[in-house]
Amino acid sequence: MTHPLFGAAYYPEHWNSERWPIDARLMQQAGINMVRMAEFAWSRLEPEEGLFDFAWLDKAIEILMAHGIQVILGTPTAAPPAWLIAGHPEILPVNEDGQRAGFGMRRHYCPTQPVFHTATRRIVEAMARHYQQHPAVFAWQIDNELGNIANGARCHCSSCRTAFQAWLKQRYGSLERLNSVWGTVFWSQEYSAWEQIPVPMRNVRPASAGSAYNPSLYLDFTRFTSDSWVQYQQLQVQILHDLCPQHRITHNLMGLFPYVDYVKLAQDLDVVSWDNYPRLPAPWSAFKGNWSPSHVAMSHDLMRGLKGRTFWVMEQQAGPSGWGRISPTPLPGEIRLWTLQSVARGAEAIIYFRWRTCTVGTEQYWHGILPHEGTPGRRYEEICQTGEELQRLGALVGADLPAEVAILRSYDAIWAFEAQPTAEGLAYDDQIGRYYRALWGRNVAVDLITEDGPWEPYKVLVAPCLFVLRKEVSTRLHAWVEAGGTLVLTFRSGVKDEYNRVVDQPLPGALRDLAGVQVIDYTALLPAGTGAPCGGPESLELVIDGTSHNVGADVWMDDLQVNDAEVLGTYRGGPFDGAPAVTLKRLGAGRVIYVGTSLDDGGQALLMGKVLEVAGVSAGVPSPDNVEIVRRVHEGIDYWFVLNHNPVAHEIRLPSGGIELLTGRTVTETVIVNGFDALVVCSQPGI
């Protein structure tokens, strides 16, 4: 198979079969070598219970194969057919308002429902048996975007409630223990039978305000629902592994999607893939108006970390998108630029969504490579060019992307903040994104890991708002810092134990000695313009190497007492005027920076510059705003991806000249990168 894999999501069932050979020819001309198919085609594959029809799919695959195109087959379980639901309406999920979904969308199933497991086994086994020896089948995609919010990421039906109770029994062993760690004495919530334990329904509006259920119950429910998706996926993985051991198994994840623990979900997969729509910030991602190309990069980095070095992009945006409303179209060059950004950050497959824009159904406005009428246009031309160029980068697939810095993103923190958002302006991924953006702006490579990920390889670990802290994590952090690591901690860290109870110590709880500070008071800052006292941003004097800088701070302020640290920043004005805000403690061979507030971009950039310097992290290549530079290393040679997300040209100075691989030109170390253009320079010192 040629690398990278290059293709599109293809739905032959949406079109007359006379069109199929035309599609295959156009795909072949565009350099497409892979298509994903069938992930929503259950009603065509099993039109009646136990009656299977693969003839149409066989025919479509045969035509594709004759054009040199292989197939990733989707199991179609995201779209249970009407006959199945009519016979077993209990499959339909129940939302947090207690309402059962109706038929008419997709993802209308509960992942713990036994009858749905039976139906899943039947269709997946039938497909696997039919295609196990097929020469064109390369891989399987299980289901589609498990947990995607269209019909609720979490089901609240009686089957889920029973499964949740069993999950709790397994975790706590006795009700006595559960009552004790959950603190159910509060509001007389003590349970005397497992069956009394509820699933948390919506009880606070708007939903973004959190939940008034016991926070311990809420966190366990989010863990349970995540596990239920992992288990549902396992059911399918098992069948496919047994019947098709030679095929690779993947699932299409959703980057920063917060409702499923992707570390656990990825464990059972051969390869991680994800769906990348740069022009359409995902509805669940909270960047508080700070959206930038850095967040796409951050999602790539998160996905890359799940299974080692590479991942696939299973859906790469190929046009203007949206269901009811249409997003602005990718400007000329942007589809190619976004594709090269994916490859730069480790993608070894690019599958565009979708081949041709459909004329029927919910996604009439979600534009594919071809427009509704099926005639090649500017997007097709751009993709042809991109496909050709990617062939020249083949050797780079799987090249290293060495990172000395990691950011810790914790699912427990995501879910505990979901129950208690804590401050109006606080969004966990926004905090992660602010640190990421400061590093991305310096072209410093970052890996995203969880608290269980390996920290040893890194010089710097940034752990924003490490809200829920397990004991062993704080022990590991101490040891890692003493051994020479540089740790960045922030406000709202060490607040909760693993049961989501607030610790009965001054904050940052178990991290207090490590940070050398303790929080003696704190305040939420309301977003600017609310007219209330503490309606931030406030100002901060940040002293970096003896020079004082005035920077902005918002969201939150800790009033710090310094026990054993050096003060880097002090509040000016606001409720804690003159108090320390940013500190640095040296410990063993390492150091800990504690940041008691949320800094604006300028402050963040200054601070991270200092952090990288004290930690001895190699400097990234300087570039203007929104020109992204990624270093890949293959067989000892540096490859520089230069990605210009701006509409205008910029001049960049690389560490050395070399061969620009997309054009084959020799370039010196000073290169011009045009607006929305990209270069890939294979370093050859001396040029």
CA distances to 20, 243, 258, 416 from 551, in Å: 59, 60, 31, 30
CB of 366 vs ligand GLA, minimal distance in Å: 5
Kindly state the helix (H) or strand (E) to which residue 602 belongs, with its residue range.
helix 601-615
Applying CB under 6 A, among 363, 424, 513, 600 the residue interacting with ligand GLA is: 363
- DSSP assignment string, 235-301: HHHHHHHHH-TTSEEEEEE-TT-SSS-HHHHHHT-SEEEEEE-TTS--TT---TT---HHHHHHHHH
**Shortest distance in whole angstroms from residue 5 CB to ligand GLA:** 17
Residues 145-164 binding ligand GLA (CB under 6 A) are 145
CB of 304 to ligand GLA, least distance (A): 19
Token reading at 381:
């031309």
Q: Which of 393, 378, 377 is closest to 341 using CA atoms?
A: 393
Name the CA dihedral angle for 600, 340, 651, 671, rounded to a multiple of 10 degrees. Answer: 150
- Comparing CB distances to ligand GLA, the nearer of 186 and 323 is 323
Dihedral sign for Cα 442, 683, 447, 318, please. positive
Measure the CA–CA gap between 154 and 232, rounded to whole angstroms: 13
Q: Is 62 a catalytic residue?
A: no
Give the separation between CA 236 and CA 509, rounded to whole angstroms: 42
Q: Which residues contact 85 (CB under 8 A, 6 or more apart)?
A: 91, 92, 103, 108
Q: Which of 187, 198, 128 is nearest to 161 (CA)?
A: 198
CB of residue 318 to ligand GLA, shortest distance in Å? 11
Binding to ligand GLA by CB under 6 A, coded x per residue (else -) over 95-134, reads ----------------------------------------
Residue 315 touching ligand GLA (CB under 6 A): yes
315 is catalytic: yes
Size, binding site for ligand GLA by CB under 6 A: 8
- Residue 144 or residue 422: which is nearer to ligand GLA going by CB? 144
Query: Cβ closer to ligand GLA: 149 or 543?
Result: 149
**Contact pattern from residue 382 through residue 421 relative to ligand GLA, giving x for each residue in contact according to CB under 6 A and a dash for the rest:** ----------------------------------------
What are the start-end ranges of the E strands in 443-516?
446-449, 460-463, 486-490
- Rounded to 5°, the CA angle 240-242-246 comes to 75
Q: What angle do CA 107, 109, 112 make, to 5 degrees?
A: 130
The conformation of residue 360, written as its DSSP 8-state character, comes to S
Nearer to ligand GLA, 6 or 277 (CB): 277
Which of 224, 312, 366, 428 binds ligand GLA (CB under 6 A)? It is: 366
- Minimum distance of ligand GLA from residue 144's CB (angstroms): 5
Cis peptide before 354 (omega within 30 of 0): yes
275 in contact with ligand GLA (CB under 6 A): yes
Considering the complex, state which of residue 90 and residue 363 has its C-beta at the smaller distance from ligand GLA. Answer: 363
Q: Are 220 and 213 in contact (CB under 8 A)?
A: no
β-strand partners of 313: 274, 350
Q: How far is the CB of 313 from ligand GLA (least distance, A)?
A: 11
Q: Which of 39, 46, 145, 389 is catalytic?
A: 145
Q: Which of residues 316-355 bind ligand GLA (CB under 6 A)?
A: 353
Distance of closest approach, residue 310 Cβ to ligand GLA, in angstroms: 20
The binding track of 228-267 with respect to ligand GLA, each residue x by CB under 6 A or -, is ------------------------x---------------
Catalytic option among 46, 315, 451, 538? 315
Tell me which of 144, 273, 357, 604 binds ligand GLA, using CB under 6 A.
144
- Residues classed as catalytic: 145, 315
| Contact positions vs ligand GLA (CB under 6 A) | 144-145, 252, 275, 315, 353, 363, 366
